[in-house]
Amino acid sequence: MSHIFLELTLVLALATGFGMLARWLRQPTILGYIATGLIVGPLGLLQLNSPETLDAMAELGITFLLFLVGMEMRFKDLKHVGKAALLTGIGQIVFTFVIGYGLTRLLGYGELAALYIAVALTFSSTIIVVKLLSEKRELESLHGKIVIGFLLVQDFVALLFLILLTSLSGSENATLATLPYAAIGFAFLKGAALLAVSLAIGRWIMPRLLRSVGHSQEVLFLVSMAWGMGMAAVAALPQVGLTIEIGAFLAGIALAGSIERHQITSRIKSLRDFFIVVFFIVLGSKMVLSSAAAVTTPAIVLSLFVLIGNPIIVLVIMGLLGYRSRTSFMASVTVAQISEFSLILMALGSRLGHVNSEVVSLVTVVSIATIAISSYLIIYSETLYGWLKTPLKIFEFRAQKERRPHDEARRGHIVLVGCHRMGHNILASLEEMHKDFTVVDFNPEVVERLAKRGIHAVYGDISDPEIAELCGLDHARLVISTVPPVEDSRAILAYTRKHNPGAKVILTADNEYESLDLYEAGADYVLLPHFIGGIQLARLLEGDTSLSSLVKLREQDIAIITGHP
């Protein structure tokens, strides 16, 4: 038994080293873990006596990953991602799949192998994209919202593909004409039935159970683990005929609406991170270098398609939807890689006997190449847009959604950025004072609602210089931003100080440290909602031993919120 721990220790030490190297190169650590697998497997520099131990741990990694992915899949969120995210997500999936399938067939692969490869090319890495956008503080930007929306659509479609692929024949030489369509339909019925049962348990049984054990974090953790792994085991039963991946995914979906999901996620994430590292190590260890050399030409062709073709597909779709070239480009570069989910699909296909090691190696090579290059595309997207700004204008096919045309040049007006919560109250005050103002917001429903009221509103991302110019930031006398992302605040400040140094700028920050940075950068005033609220409450309670002022404050706030004084 001791040799197992020694081998595991050596593998994890190697993974740590390669992971640190990947971070130093500003690359996702996934690449470091696959490199560790190459050392362990094809290169043979570290021979393992118990590879089955790593295989079992890799399956646990897949289970935990898909369980957590399912917990982020709240169906009600599909209504809120907006038409842009929904149409972009579906359009990108359809066109990438069709073109990818055609390319793969031209490269000489069989129909079933081409189906797997095309599916693998379709999905983008949620983990990598969200992490990079978060580091750039762009999750709350317009393109960030759209990206998160179509990644959510991709996750939903991925579930359907999982069910489809598990229903296919085990022969890798199967053709579309010989596919078992009756079995495919039956598999979808079984998946739908398992989903219905899972959702019923998640709605009627699990909430009561989770509430009853919620006082103990340890028991809550164990219950959620038992639920996720239990559903994975049930799905993999011969009588059910699905896979652990589908079961784990459905188990997560069942808990997606629970109030305990954040607590469960935080407890399981560390386990997922550990075991998914082992999965990528195992994936790298099973690569066949001779196969990797043989697939060089197909890997280059498919990598170029993912790196160039996928972004062009998104640019065209978003251009047709009326988005400006900057927003479309920023969203498009996030799909220039294939995801860890694609590697899970290929591992599943190999286990089911649908694809051989050469096909798995091909997709792994494409994954390594596209993840490595696309990471830099996302990190330096602003610089790239600056270089490509002029040619990208060809993707602005129609009147832009991210604008409302000016009737005449405006000067000396007020620009309000963000019309939600605090911004809504400021808007009401500006209307009462009959001020000349423009509202900028990246929620199209808000902009349409304001337009119907006759309020001048611009739909778009204020960090886009063209949107800043469109709303008249260079001629405004006062700029008020209620959006907290500090990158947006810096963009507003930089543009205003450059083009309109005489304007007063009021910004919003999440904490005191950000506010000090914005003051040093030249902000006239920085709103700190929590800070101001605390000070106001402290002053109201000073000397009020009976706390009678709370009654008056409560009535005042309710009157403001309801609009019925």
CB-based contact 145:390 (threshold 8 Å): no
User: For residues 103 and 299, is the Cβ–Cβ distance under 8 A?
Assistant: no
Domains of the chain: 2-394 (1.20.1530.20), 414-527 (3.40.50.720)
Q: Render pLDDT for 514-525 as a digit per residue (tens, 0 to 9).
A: 888 888 888 998
Q: Give the pLDDT of residue 471.
A: 86
**SS3 state of residue 409:** coil
**pLDDT for the residue 408:** 47
Low-confidence ranges of the chain (pLDDT < 50): 405-408
Query: What pLDDT sits at residue 257?
Result: 78
Residue 4: its pLDDT value, please? 74
Encode pLDDT of 72-125 as tens digits. Answer: 776 565 555 567 788 898 999 999 999 999 999 999 998 889 999 999 999 998
Any idea which residue has 């270089």 for tokens?
387
List the beta bridge partners of residue 417. Answer: 440, 481
Q: How far apart are CA 221 and CA 210, in angstroms?
A: 10
* Cβ-defined contacts of 524-528 (< 8 Å, 24+): 527/422, 527/482
* Model confidence pLDDT, tens digit, residues 164-214: 877 765 555 555 666 666 777 888 888 889 889 988 998 888 888 888 887
The pLDDT of residue 547 is 63
Strands 457-459 and 478-481 turn out to be unpaired
Q: Given this model, what pLDDT does residue 407 score?
A: 45
Provide the pLDDT for residue 401. Answer: 61
Give the per-residue pLDDT at 315: 94
Percent of the chain whose pLDDT exceeds 90: 19
User: Angle, nearest 10°, between helix axes 82-106 and 296-304?
Assistant: 150
